[in-house]
Amino acid sequence: RIALMGKPNTGKSTLSNRLTHSNASIVSDYAGTTRDTVEGGFSYGGKNFVVLDTAGIRRKAKVHENVEYYSVNRAIKTLDRCDIVFLMIDAQEGLSEQDKKICSLAFERGRGIIFILNKWDTQEQDRKTFRKTREWINIMFGQMEYAPILPLSALNGTGIKDLLNEAIEIYKQLNHKVETAALNMALKDWLFKYPPPASKTAHFKIRYMTQKSTNPVNFLIFATRPEVVPETYITFLKNRIREDLGFDKIPVQLEMKASRQKWEDRFDS
């Protein structure tokens, strides 16, 4: 389930119509034409996709009419129903504050995100332009460097294949489950290579880890004193999970819980 999101008039409806081979979404040069969430479906690469084309989220200050208020709420509810967000960015205009808002909401919910630089055909077609744009997005969204950034022209259809292949890969990662034994072998290795920082006041031991859920991907780490585990060490573990266990394109949630028991001892009790 794909949610097309972004500020008004970034080409969401054009992309939706191209993907679903229909005119279910109204395409117009006037911002805010799509008031409702339009659903459509299509198949690609042996997968069935559902497209949720939402109304563009505007800044709250500009939300005067009730209809606009409901559009914002509907877009937020769509985040609860989708697997992946296609965040549409107008290559000519760049990012808005609302794009940041959508990203943080999607991130909190553990949704996959692809940054789509739409109307890329209007830009200089060289690697330097794309590299600079990508660096700029990575600065804006520091915690989301894993999210793919793809150039596209929804109007001409260029870049659609790459976009859908990326979506299939992200969906695979969102539903990837790691066996607990393999997880704890990896954890042992990480703890050996990069032991937790030792100090008299913040002494703790990391015991074991389990994968709590898929889509969103959530892990649970048991430690003797979870409250003193530094944020930097939690970030290190998150990065190791993502890079070593096949979650390199999606957000990973990590919770800490208190336990004095070792992984091996759980079976003796």
Q: How confident is the model at residue 78 (pLDDT cuts 50, 70, 90)?
A: confident
pLDDT of residue 27: 42
| Number of domains comprising the chain | 2
Mean pLDDT throughout 125-147? 84
Instruction: Output the pLDDT for position 149.
Output: 93
Dihedral sign from CA coordinates of 160, 161, 167, 171: positive
Q: For residues 149 and 165, is the Cβ–Cβ distance under 8 A?
A: no
The arithmetic mean of pLDDT across residues 57-82, rounded, is 64
Strand-pair partners of 47 = 44
Q: Look at strands 2-5 and 38-44 and give their pairing.
A: unpaired
Are residues 100 and 137 both part of a single domain?
yes
> Could you give the CA distance from residue 87 to residue 136 in angstroms, rounded to a whole number?
15
224 three-class SS? coil
- Domain residues for the domain of 214 are 180-267
Distance CA 85, CA 99 (A): 11
Report the distance separating Cα 55 and Cα 71, nearest Å.
6
Same structural domain, 153 and 256: no
- 216 and 250 fall within a common domain: yes
**Residue holding tokens 């009790």?**
269
pLDDT of residue 32: 44
Ranked by mean pLDDT, which of 33-47, 66-80, 241-255 comes out on top? 241-255
The answer on pLDDT for 176 being more than 80 is: yes
Whether 35 has a pLDDT exceeding 60, the answer reads: no
Q: Which two tokens stand for residue 43?
A: 């198949």
Tell me, yes or no, whether 150 and 39 share the same domain. yes
Based on the fold, state whether residues 150 and 44 are members of the same structural domain.
yes
Q: pLDDT over 70 for what percent of the chain?
A: 81
pTM of the model: 0.84
CATH classification of the domain holding 190: 3.30.300.20
196 pLDDT more than 50 = yes
Strands (E), 10-119: 38-44, 47-53, 84-90, 112-118
What does the mean pLDDT of the chain come to? 83
Distances (CA, A) of 262 to 185, 210, 267: 13, 13, 10
Q: Give CA–CA dist 214/191, Å, rounded.
A: 24
Clarify whether residues 105 and 189 are in a common domain. Answer: no
Who contacts 158 (Cβ-Cβ below 8 Å, separation ≥6)? 120, 121, 152
Q: Do 53 and 67 belong to one domain? A: yes
Same structural domain, 108 and 241: no
Please report which residue ranges of 142-210 form alpha helices under DSSP H: 160-174, 180-193
| Closest C-alpha among 216, 54, 88, 247 to residue 163 | 88
In the prediction, which pLDDT does 109 show?
Answer: 93
Same structural domain, 20 and 126: yes
Identify the domain boundary among 174, 206, 231. 174
Looking at the fold, whether 60 and 44 belong to one and the same domain comes out as yes
Residues 85 and 23 in one domain: yes
Instruction: Please check the confidence at residue 67 and state whether its pLDDT lies above 70.
Output: no
- Grade residue 34 by pLDDT with cuts at 50, 70 and 90: very low
Domain end point (choices 122, 156, 174): 174
**Amino acid residing at 201:** T
| Same structural domain, 160 and 134 | yes
- Stretch 145-167: mean pLDDT, rounded? 93
Q: State the CATH number of the domain containing residue 155.
A: 3.40.50.300
| Domain closes at, from 174, 199, 226 | 174
pLDDT band of residue 166 (cuts 50, 70, 90) is very high
Residue 66 has what pLDDT?
54
Average the pLDDT over 23-36 and give the result: 45
29: pLDDT strictly greater than 70: no
